[in-house]
Amino acid sequence: MAPRLQLAVDSPDLVTAFGPLNQVADAVDVVEAGTILIIGEGLRAVREIRALYPAQTVLADVRIAEAGSLIARHCFEAGATWVSCVAGASLTTIGQVVAVAGEFGGEVQVELGETYSLDRARAWRELGAEHVIVKRSRDQEAAGNLSWGPADVERIHELAGLGFTVTVTGGITAGDLDVFAGAPVGVVIAGRSIMGAADPTAAVAELRAAMERVWP
């Protein structure tokens, strides 16, 4: 079964975001109000996306590190379906976010950094976090780290074995997906390859075709 496709909307403002977003929002499974967009527009970005797409799954990618209850509540009240936490957040913070998510019927993503602890991940799952993100960061890309490899695939299998929905992200294009063949990926995040495309609709179609080929 093919993973869900999550669109990372990391434009600097809503004016820039809505051009491509409006073309493809109904063709993706999750719309992510990205960190950069939220820094520029605040949670207005989540509210506007929710107002335009009331049935869509919307992630507020706020990368919660502390003040878990407060920030999570703001996000869910703005209309988020999912919120994100960083792996460095304390277990207390992640527990708070999970508790607030439960009040709203929402879900929690934890974003892995460069370091990785299976025991730590197991604790997140026990707290009730549903999603974990395996990533190649924007800064890693800028430094020339452009490859995914066997260690990433092994990590995906380990995390899925704990019961997580595993997400992969990091400048992903259709050509990157073959490395994940056979891996239990639940969500693929794509941002610039769609938002920056001359034809965003065609870019989504290309990704969908690749996903269906890699995960028949």
CATH number of residue 187's parent domain: 3.20.20.70
Closest CA to 35 of 9, 67, 70: 9
Between CA 111 and CA 120 the distance in angstroms is 12
**What is the residue range of 86's domain?**
4-214
Considering just the CA atoms, what is the radius of gyration of the chain in Å? Answer: 16
8 A C-beta contact, residue 46 and residue 71: no
Q: What is the pLDDT of residue 132?
A: 97
- Identity of the amino acid at 49: I
189: its two tokens: 């995040």
- Please report the pLDDT score of residue 43 as a whole number: 98
Structural domains of the chain, count: 1
Query: What DSSP state is assigned to residue 172?
Result: -
Q: Which residues of the chain have pLDDT under 50?
A: 143
Q: Which residues of 117-133 are buried (b: 16+ CB within 10 A; e: fewer)?
A: eeeebbebeebebbbbb
C-alpha distance across the termini of the chain, in Å: 6
φ and ψ at residue 148, rounded to 5 degrees = -100, 150
* Cβ atoms within 10 Å of 149's Cβ, excluding its own: 8
- Name the token pair of 213: 């080929």
What are the tens digits of pLDDT across the range 118-156?
Answer: 999 999 999 999 999 998 755 555 545 557 888 889 999
